[in-house]
Structure 1
Amino acid sequence: MIELNRRHMLKALVALGGASILNVPAVYAQAENLVITTYGGSWEKFWRDTLVPGFTKETGIEPTLDIGLGRTYMTNLRAAGTENPPYSCLMTNEIYATVLRSEGYFEELDLAKLPNYADLYPVATEASKGWAAVGLISPIGLGYRSDMVSTPPTSWKDLWENPEFKGRIGLYNIKNSAGKMFLMLTSMMYGKGMDDLDTGFEMLKELGPVYQTDFNMSTAMATGEIAIAPFDFGEIARLRNQGLPVDCTIPAEGLMMWDQTFNICKNTPARDAAYQYLDFVLSPVGQDLLMREFFVSPVNKTVTVPEDLARDVPVSGAAMDQFIAWDWDLMNDNAEEISRRWNEIFGA
């Protein structure tokens, strides 16, 4: 009877424009439809044109696609509560997933439903310890203009030690997880560990003026406003394929990365379908599609980067051990103070 009443309520909400009233796609999830997430722009186009049709062809399941950002997904989950998740399988950065996981929004993965999980590189599983899987990895190394740099970088410390970089450095700001990673990296290189933030901030001051951006570093690199910056290898590949003289290196200390963590929402009515979707993303087919579209490093060990993509996807195989593990609890627990201190150095 409770279930029947709930279904009547959902039908009424839909008739009244319930999704807009709730401001979250909870109605779809409650109606036992698979709701998956991605971002806008090229991400949405790829999901709609390629990934979702491939998944539907293999499984017969037609999911609902919700477009947003990590902050939006966090707000919507909290508004809906753990009992009525608006999503079935949530893709977001680990910095958000860490918080939501601690608040009880995700279930521990049932690995029996994820055959491809066993073939993942450790970097795709270690951070969440069985509660999620990283489905996309965008390696971040040091990208640079080869026509503006006489000595290519080999270390993150070159940003401090090579005088030709002075005043021509780009950084992602502290709103971006890459800014937080760079702070932890600096603290680790020059201090007692990545939690030695005092030392990290002192060293950041020594960089001098830098160009900051929330997400788009490519424009400044293309115009020559900067000569070097932490850069997504896939974005360097796109710029290079457009004819720009750019390159990217794996620094000696290791790589940063933008991760896309996939989580199964607790209490989703579409639980089985959510696992089928996640397993498809982690499969050789799913990973090959993602690699070719975004130049991401495949997380499935059985996927081989073909020769024609080797330069654009240089991080695979043994190189997958070079990613640094980050302390997102440290960043989330001290977010306000970290933002304040960063902005005191570089400006908001």
Structure 2
Amino acid sequence: MILVPPRANAATELNMIAWYGHGEPDMVEEFEAMHNVKIKAKYYAGGDNMLALIAQSPPGTYDLVLSDGEFVKLLKEAGYIETMDPNAYNMGDLFDEYARFEPHWMGDTLYSVIVRFGYLGVSFNTEIISHQEASDYNILWDSKLTGKVGHFDWHLPNLGCLSLRDGNDKPSPFDINSAQWSKLQETTLSLKPQVGGYFDYGGTFASLKNGEIYAMCGIGDWITGVVRKDGSPVDSVIPKQGGIQWTESYSIGKGSNKQDLAREFIRYITSPKGQVRSIQMAAYPGMSPYKSGWTAINEANPEEAKRQRMTFDGPNCIDDLREGRIHFRQTPVQQSLEDWNDFWSEYKNA
């Protein structure tokens, strides 16, 4: 008789749609081992791309939907995500500024749970541009940067920062009237002679790393925090006109038949050990909105906690928000998303 060893139970597959990096081993390997699950990720770049990919997929395709905060309302209105019970997650651990993060709620109903955030301003080559120079968006028009200004190819962060340059900080750089919108288009088109390229995710890293591009607006430490690890002379600052905040959060995909497992993953990634992984994500770093996440990263990697200003003693990263220097990224309020996207295409082809 031939004895056949018992076969290990096949891993359950959990499907997510996310920005690049969230389904990589440094983020999910521990959870996969804990729950005998294999996380399969579909990656996108930009919320518009995310919506298009979900629209092309049958309901139930994605168990987990990672999105930027400003797209949660659009996901809900399209019927792409489930309602969520706030009591099932680590909501009590959030800093006050994120305890009831408005874009994630429709009335008293929760649709997404925040995981991480970061700030966008000007990223620059420190051998060409000083920190003082980079602290004003107008540096982008300096003659020494002709042909050396780059763009991460997504309209919202770029136009948001340039709107701040135009002085549109009240109520928001994304809530502008027709005259302000016309001025913003004029401002953006005037930058065209300075532009050396429009880059995807990988190209943004490479162009700053190899010196092809000296400055970009609308990005931040999520790019330069990675590039600096390789020794490249780059940094990011929030200019005097203000900066933009990005947030990433998880929703449960409409029609998922693995909602219990999806909830477990969201609880894991927002726990202290999950937040340590999120803060140090290999693809791009991000700050934690969870108090226990700050405690955990200060224990696990105090240098990274200090670099990202997640410290309890002295000034910290949330102070920028409290001081009014940071504006939440939104979809356009008085124009349509298509208006901004169409103009961005016009600008690229000008």
Q: TM-score, normalising length from structure 2?
A: 0.73
Tell me the secondary structure at the aligned position of residue 329 of structure 2: coil
- Cα separation, 1, equivalents of 2:49 and 2:66: 12
- Aligned counterpart, 2:196: 211
* TM alignment of 1:18-33, pairs within 5 A: none
Q: What amino acid is the match of 2:149?
A: I
| Cα separation, partners in 2 of 1:342 and 1:73, compared to 1, 3 Å | closer
Q: Do 2:245 and 2:328's aligned partners in 1 also have CA atoms closer than 8 Å?
A: no
Distance 2:40 2:335 in 1: 28
- Is 2:271 the partner of 1:300? no
Aligned to 2:16: 36
Structure 1 segments, 4+ long, off by >4 Å, are: 70-73, 160-167, 190-193
Q: Deviations over 1:1-47 (max 9, x none)?
A: xxxxxxxxxxxxxxxxxxxxxxxxxxxxxxx964333455xx26xx3
1:93 to 2:78 alignment: no
Farther off after superposition, 154-163 or 138-147? 154-163
Partner of 2:254: 266
1-structure distance, mates of 2:69, 2:204: 21
Counterpart residue type for residue 214 of structure 2:
A
SS in 1 for 2:115: strand
Aligned-partner Cα distance in 2 for 1:317–1:193: 18
8 A contact 2:115–2:289 mirrored in 1: yes
Match of 1:189 among 150, 168, 173: 168
SS at match of 2:293: coil
Is 1:221 matched with 2:221? no
Distance between the aligned counterparts of 1:303 and 1:343, measured in 2? 39
Q: Matched residues in 2 for 1:151 and 1:198: separation?
A: 30
The 3 A distance-change label for structure 1 pair 108 and 242 is same
Structure-to-structure mapping, 1:1-348, within 5 angstroms: 34-40=14-20, 43=21, 47-58=23-34, 60=35, 62-69=37-44, 74-75=51-52, 77-79=54-56, 84-94=59-69, 96-114=71-89, 116-121=90-95, 122-123=97-98, 125-129=101-105, 130-150=110-130, 152-153=132-133, 155-159=135-139, 164-165=144-145, 167-173=147-153, 175-186=154-165, 188-189=167-168, 194=173, 195=176, 196-209=180-193, 210-215=195-200, 216-230=203-217, 231-293=219-281, 294-304=284-294, 305-306=297-298, 307-310=302-305, 312-314=307-309, 316-319=317-320, 321=322, 322-330=325-333, 333-335=336-338, 337-347=339-349
**What's the offset of the Cα at 1:63?**
4.4
* Residues 157-198 of structure 1: per-residue CA shift (max 9 Å, x gap): 33367565455322233x454234335434553898532311
Q: Which amino acid aligns with 1:149?
A: I
Higher strand share: 2
User: Which structure is higher in helix share?
Assistant: 1
8 Å CA contact 2:321–2:327 kept in 1: the answer is no
The RMSD of aligned alpha carbons is 3.3
* Match of residue 6 from structure 2: none
Using structure 1 for the length normalisation, give the TM-score: 0.74
Q: Cα 1:63–1:319, aligned 2, differ >3 Å: closer, same or farther?
A: farther
Note if contact 1:264-1:271 (Cα within 8 Å) is conserved in structure 2.
Answer: yes
CA contact (8 A) 1:136 1:259 kept: yes
Shift of 1:200: 0.9
When residues 72 and 85 of structure 1 are mapped into structure 2, their CA distance, relative to the original with a 3 A threshold, is farther
The verdict on how the C-alpha distance between 1:346 and 1:123 changes in structure 2, with shifts beyond 3 A counting, is farther
Indicate how the Cα distance of structure 1 residues 244 and 53 shifts in structure 2: closer, same or farther if over 3 A, else same.
closer
Instruction: State whether residues 295 and 312 of structure 1, in contact with CA within 8 Å, keep that contact through their aligned partners in structure 2.
Output: no
2:55 counterpart letter in structure 1: R
CA distance in 1 between counterparts of 2:50 and 2:330 reads: 21
Aligned-partner SS, 2:168: helix
When the two structures are aligned, how many residues end up with a matched partner? Answer: 307
| Structure 1 residues 143 and 76: CA distance shift in structure 2, 3 A | closer
Closer/same/farther in 2, CA of residues 238 and 333 from structure 1, 3 Å limit: same
Q: Distance in 2 between matches of 1:157 and 1:75?
A: 32
